[in-house]
Structure 1
């Protein structure tokens, strides 16, 4: 299993400092990745831009490729093109649409509370399902700076609207943890997304914490093909494994579903490298 981690990436990790306690900080994460022979990572925060943190970590660990970026929750002004522009200027490579403050995510979290007031939370579409002007501006900024766009925790219909608009612009989109019950994409939606040039992310978080079975993950991967899939952990929680441990365990359980070392290499090395190369070309 050590060989499977050699050269692997985890492009979805939550580290300290953060507004909640995390499994480890940036430095400990980097040391662990180097020790396991992994090639790089992306550090994510729901509320703060991680571009500068990633750049500092990259300087201290030149053998790694480290990416950061901005998540468009209320602390950065919501769906805010200016925040994306500044992140890109600081070296940000990724932009995620709203996550914990996405209205659709909050609707799922409060699905048993029909009277809950969710008006303060964020959507990327209007009542008719059309993308808001500022969401289109975010895609324009991301395209100009060759940032990779993650759909975050917005609903699948909203995410597909982003995919279609991004395809018109030549912007790369990743369906963030597409199997998560809070924002899950159907097989048909995933197939349409990859046909338009998007990638599908599957994070070990949903399987490790019993949200989505490994059998369902395998079914979804087979439906679109490994060459369109990015494996990550989405770890950083105190009750989760470390990122390197999570990637190793994810590989192990996917092998029980018939995936080969070559196929895992595509999803853990080749696809993230392809995404990072696209980001690097803007430098």
Structure 2
């Protein structure tokens, strides 16, 4: 892989790494993922994401090993049924103990369950799990009181709010409330996978202050999804690199390492004509802002 691509990615921040432990089979643990990024790309920071548990506790248990790695590693909590869904108490513990991200329902969202009722495109868990649907609105169509309580904690701590895997209409509703509160750290992941948000909807989200995250795992020819990098470039050009983040969404046992995914996808984007300064904006500057690093 070209040294020029590696140099363009130097200092990147990965907002979406699926390292372990996890009930889903993982390629490596959080420390090993961080070390690989530090050694090969000078990775500044990464976020360890789990659909099932608060990863802050993992990182606190691993802090002795993490102290030997230059990359900072942050955790957070996804509001799925395994943590009690819309659970303000779990959010407080995660963020007060150093968490930086709250993902609204991912595998427990109605959108995810409707799209993947049999779990296709997702690995089989190593232990029996029950996924229950979690909705952020009540019968009246308004956000549940627990959502507002969770937003209070996110706002107080300056954490990043992710829309999870929800339907675009629920995402819009959440971002509108966030914008009304003055929140400026909001993000939607892989709008064209599971969520099904169109570019025009994503432009609306950016006007509410949100960023649009795309995943290297979808565009790496050696990963298991294999979308065309040109489609990603079209999204970047439509939305604008100033509103875009490129993350890995890797760490699964059957996918390449995140660093390799970044190298191949970034190389393809540069070959297609993406400016290096725009690549740096998406992999370094924007995610650094969203994590509060700058």
* Cross-structure match for 1:179: 192
Could you tell me how far 1:84 is from its partner in structure 2?
Answer: 0.8
Determine helix, strand or coil for the equivalent of 2:231: helix
Q: Deviations over 1:197-228 (max 9, x none)?
A: 11110012223333643222222211221011
Paired residue for 1:110? 117
What root-mean-square deviation, in Å, do the aligned CA atoms of Structure 1 and Structure 2 show?
Answer: 2.1
Paired residue for 2:233? 218
Q: Which moved more, 1:70-79 or 1:199-208?
A: 199-208
Paired with 1:264 and 1:167, the residues of 2 have a C-alpha distance of: 27
1:62 is displaced (CA, Å) by 5.9
- Asked if residue 46 in structure 1 is aligned to residue 58 in structure 2, the reply is no
| Contact 1:140–1:169 (Cα < 8 Å) also in 2 | no
CA distance in 1, matches of 2:149, 2:267: 41
CA offset at residue 177 of structure 1?
1.8
> Using the alignment, how far apart are the partners of 2:189 and 2:90 within structure 1?
20
1:233 CA drift (Å): 0.9
- Of the three residues 115, 118, 142, the one matched with 2:154 is 142
Task: Provide the C-alpha distance between the structure 2 equivalents of 1:162 and 1:257, rounded to a whole number of angstroms.
Answer: 35
Which residue does the alignment assign to 1:115?
Answer: none
Q: Secondary structure at the match of 1:7?
A: coil
Give CA deviations for 1:137-175 in whole Å, capped at 9, x if unaligned: 211211111110111111111111111111111222101
Query: Aligned partners of 1:164 and 1:135: how far apart in 2?
Result: 13
- TM-score relative to the length of structure 2: 0.86
Note the 1:64-213 alignment, pairs <5 A: 64-110=71-117, 120-127=132-139, 129-171=141-183, 172-180=185-193, 182-208=194-220, 209-210=224-225, 212-213=227-228
Q: CA deviation at 1:87?
A: 0.7
2:39 paired with 1:35? yes
SS of equivalent residue, structure 2 residue 254? coil
Distance 1:212 1:127, change over 3 A: farther
CA distance in 2, matches of 1:42, 1:123: 25
Unaligned runs of 5+ in 1: 112-117
Alpha-carbon distance between aligned partners in 2 of 1:75 and 1:59, rounded to the nearest angstrom: 26
Q: Is the 8 A contact 2:107 2:131 kept in 1?
A: no
Q: Distance in 2 between matches of 1:120 and 1:59?
A: 34
Matched position secondary structure for 2:11: coil
Aligned mates of 1:211, 1:150 — CA distance in 2 = 24
Partner in structure 2 of residue 243 of structure 1: 258
CA gap of 1:123–1:213, structure 2 versus 1, over 3 A, is farther
Runs of 5+ unmatched residues, structure 2:
119-129
| 1:105 shift after superposition | 0.7
Instruction: Give me the whole-angstrom Cα distance separating, in 1, the residues matched to 2:96 and 2:131.
Output: 32
2:14 is aligned, of 10, 16, 29, to 10
Once residues 271 and 141 of structure 2 are traced to their aligned partners in structure 1, the CA distance between those partners, rounded to angstroms, is 40
